[in-house]
Structure 1
Amino acid sequence: MKHQYSIILFMLVCSLSLFGQAGKDTYQFLNLPTSARIGAFGGSNVSLRDSDINFSFQNPALLTAKTHNMLSLNYANYIAGINFGSTIYGRNFGKNYMAYGIHYIDYGKFLETDPTDQILGEFTAKDFAINIMYARQLPKGFTVGATLKPIYSVYERYKSFGVALDLGANYTNDSIMFSAGLAIRNIGFQFTGYYSIDGQQHRESLPLDIQLGISQKLWHAPLRFSLTMHDLQRWDLSYRKEEAGQEVVSTNTKAADFFDMLFRHTIFTVEVLPHKNFYIVASYNHQRRMDMKAPDFRTAAGFSFGAGVKIYKFHIGFSLTPYQVGNLSYHFTLSTGLSEFGVK
């Protein structure tokens, strides 16, 4: 037990040493939840290591022996007519675990007009990222992993290419039903930006996100709790915008004190696990609530809910995430193990 807490403390110290300040980043779609279960977990979890291959999108070290031959398809109906989704397949080679995936976002169709508001036609905007994941199991419950993510983005005639790298580590102790994870996500750069200035490419930074999490299942109750800390590379998570060339802090975040700001870095999740083939999840993301809450309105922003069931050889998942008043996001997942169909 002493060794376990030393590991957690080491992860925390490493993460806190990288606290910085907020910046403006591109390829924000990389931070969207890639499955119904991850959506129900409040958008992220880097610690839970089971047979759900979709968690490897969050932390490649969450690939396991059980993710071999797992195939998953995911679709989300986002807000304002935006849709996104992902697919992933796992293949293991001894203690070397691999997975191959892609996730995308389609922002829909837009009207193209000239300066006089004459309609010239329509255009689309889309982002894509390929995920090539690798993890290696180490002694004493440790696993490390990495994900290479080539990125392509096109908004009308404006295109961008980039690459990102995720690094992850996980510690799992099945004897006490405990796991901890650390992920450094979206390390990378743009090869080409969306436009040039005086012949020079305008390149933007990627949405770096350092996350630390723990998961603990109870012995005598069908419950599992998870705590995920996100954006550990920067302390101030206040939403900021520019007005007339001056940076303005959102009124939702202006009064944030130390404990409120600390709370914004956390996502709390509880799972109800009455049967190995059924689960219910609820979570709370304080940062999302503070960003999305509306004055004079009570909303469920910040909360997420989901459930999953295995029917025959298929795992079916659904999640619901309220954002602002009247804006809900729905996420659907269909997964199966190809080994159950005779594929080796």
Structure 2
Amino acid sequence: MQRILILILCWPLGLTAQSLGGNAIYNFLRMPANAQTAALGGVNISVPGKDLGMIFQNPALLRPDMQQQASVSFQALPGGIGQYGMVNAWHLSEAKTSIAAGLVYFNYGDLTQTDASGMVLGSFRPRDYAIQATASRQYKEHWWYGLTLRFIRSEYGQYRSSGLAADLGINFHDPATGWQAALTAKNMGTQLSTYTPGGPKEELPFDLQLGVTKKLLEAPVQFSLSFQQVNRFRNLYNDTSFRAGEGDDRYLQANGWQRFSGHLVLGAQFFLGDKIELSTGYHFQRRQELNGFGISNGLNGFSFGTALLLPRLQFRYATGFYQRNLFHQVSLQFRWKDE
């Protein structure tokens, strides 16, 4: 087991050069696949609990008590884009291993297909999807580790590509103190086929993430601090010519705080009894990048959510701003068979 933990900790160190230029493909994998993650700012790998959809963020969050449950999710994004997710879980008692199978699907609607001169040739329906299998196990009392293997497919008319990726994660959970911590290396893999035949392979959106969550023992509140893209020191998208053309010189050179805060995502949860949760999150990088063109409603980067937790059913809802548009994400989790 010690060798497995060392592998999980050290393997990402050899991959920190991936996607440094910000030109990675399959970026739909960065989107939160469940409502709880979306409500907590879009990035969270350290919140344990009963939400099966959290395994899209960290495979080590898969637990035995999630067996014989299924979770489905839908997100409506600006521009008529729809995101769908589903996952199903089982527990193998003899192997002391929890397993799950999941799917993430993006539908971009009908787009007009034209030639180079602009002549309309018809229409096409671009789509992205990923099929994954997850396994997790417990180590001693407070540690969990997990692995997700993922097949990726992207189709934009005649341009099609496929790839393979893996997520490795560990999670520390001590209920007695309320501390949780996690480390996840996400989207490690390769492109199997390129969008153009014979073209060079492109990089996947590798992301090394750290997370810490603290549940207060004397109050029904839980706080999370997540670090995304730890493998990239400069993770902000700053197109200097674009910003200068817009007359906004604040972004010509990102300062130290902007570079550091671009890695941070904050989250908080409030528990009203054992059946209702309220969540909120703040994504620093999202706020900086959406405050362009002088368009801002003051809430860019913020997200909010609520949850209703019943014995056999969980309902979660999340929303947030993309400049002047809202996104809406709903997750429904249910037990399909009694234990």
Query: Quick check: TM above 0.5?
Result: yes
> What is the match of residue 108 of structure 1?
109
89-98 vs 164-173, greater mean Cα deviation = 89-98
| SS of equivalent to 1:25 | coil
Q: Which amino acid aligns with 2:146?
A: G
> Structure 1, residues 252-291: CA drift from partner, whole Å, max 9, x if none?
6434222221111011111011122110001100000001
User: What is the alpha-carbon root mean square deviation over aligned residues?
Assistant: 2.3
Does the 8 Å contact 2:208/2:231 carry over to 1? yes
Contact persistence 2:240–2:252 (CA under 8 A) = no
Q: Is the 8 A contact 1:253 1:290 kept in 2?
A: no
Q: What's 2:220 paired with?
A: 222
Residue 101 (structure 2) pairs with residue 97 (structure 1): no
Q: Tell me the distance in 2 between the aligned counterparts of 1:29 and 1:14.
A: 24
Summarize the alignment of residues 168-207 of structure 1 with structure 2, pairs less than 5 Å apart: 168-196=169-197, 200-207=198-205
**Farther off after superposition, 99-108 or 312-321:** 312-321
User: Which residue in the other structure is 2:300 paired with?
Assistant: 301
Q: 1:159 to 1:312 in 2, by over 3 A?
A: same
Answer whether contact 1:15 1:212 (CA < 8 A) is retained: no
5+ residue gaps, structure 1, are 1-10, 245-249
Task: Report deviation, 1:310.
Answer: 2.6
Mapped partners of 2:208, 2:291: distance in 1: 25
Q: What is the TM-score normalised by the length of structure 2?
A: 0.89
3-state DSSP of counterpart to 1:269: strand
Amino acid of the structure 2 residue aligned with 1:170:
N
Alignment correspondent of 2:152: 151
Q: CA deviation at 1:311?
A: 4.6
Q: Is the 8 Å Cα contact of residues 22 and 236 (structure 1) preserved in structure 2?
A: no
| Equivalent residues of 2:132, 2:149 under 8 A apart | yes
Aligned to 1:212: 210
Give the AA of the match of 2:327.
S
* Mapped contact 2:240–2:251 kept (Cα < 8 A): no
Deviation for aligned residue 1:70: 1.7
Does the aligned pair in 2 maintain the 1:132–1:147 contact within 8 Å?
Answer: yes
Aligned counterpart in structure 1 of residue 233 of structure 2, from 229, 232, 235: 235
Is the CA contact 2:55–2:62 (under 8 Å) kept in the aligned structure 1?
A: yes
Paired residue secondary structure (2:125): strand
Contact 1:167 / 1:184 at 8 angstroms: preserved in 2?
yes
Alpha carbons 2:64, 2:90 under 8 Å: kept? no
Match of 1:140 in 2: 141
Compute the displacement of 1:235 (Å). Answer: 0.6
**1:112–1:290 Cα change, 3 Å:** same
* Map of 1:57 onto structure 2: 56
Q: 1:26-105 to 2 correspondence within 5 Å? A: 26-94=25-93, 95-105=96-106
1:235 and 1:122 map into 2 onto residues whose CA distance is 41
- Match for 2:102: what amino acid? G
**Who is 2:22 aligned against?**
23
Q: Give the letter aligned to residue 126 of structure 1.
A: R
1:313 and 1:258 map into 2 onto residues whose CA distance is 48
Aligned length: 322
Deviations 1:60-91 (A, max 9, x none): 00011221112101000011111111000111
Residue 261 (structure 1) aligns with: 259
1:319-340 CA distance string (max 9 Å, x none): 102011x22111011111224x
Q: Is the 8 A contact 1:239 1:253 kept in 2?
A: no
Distance 1:192 1:259, change over 3 A: same
Q: Secondary structure at the match of 2:162?
A: strand
What is the identity, as a one-letter code, of the residue corresponding to 1:84?
Q
Alignment match, 1:275:
273
- Report the CA distance shift for 1:13/1:205 in structure 2 as closer, same or farther (over 3 A): closer
Aligned residue in 2 for 1:5 = none
Q: Name the CA shift for 1:194/1:241 in 2 (closer, same or farther; >3 Å).
A: farther
Distance verdict in 2 for CA 1:151–1:13, change over 3 Å: closer
1:201 alignment partner, SS class: coil
CA drift of 1:314 comes to 1.6
Please state whether the residue corresponding to 1:66 is helix, strand or coil. helix
- Offset at residue 23 of structure 1 (A): 3.3
Task: Give the superposition deviation at 1:104.
Answer: 0.9
Question: Residues 49 and 62 of structure 1 are in contact (CA less than 8 Å); yes or no, is this contact kept in structure 2?
Answer: yes
C-alpha displacement of 1:155: 0.5
**CA apart distance, 1:251:** 5.5
| Displacement of 1:194 | 0.3
Identity rate of aligned residues, in percent?
29
Query: Residues 181 and 252 from structure 1, CA distance in 2 versus in 1: closer, same or farther, beyond 3 angstroms?
Result: farther
Tell me the equivalent position of 1:247.
Answer: none
Other-structure match for 1:127: 128
Separation in 2, partners of 1:39, 1:251 = 31
Q: Partner residue of 1:4? A: none
Q: SS state of the match for residue 108, structure 2?
A: strand
The residue aligned with 2:328 is 330
What is the alpha-carbon distance in structure 2 between the residues aligned to residue 77 and residue 180 of structure 1? 31
Show the counterpart of 2:3: none
Once the 2 structures are TM-superposed, how far is the Cα of residue 243 of structure 1 from its aligned partner? 7.1
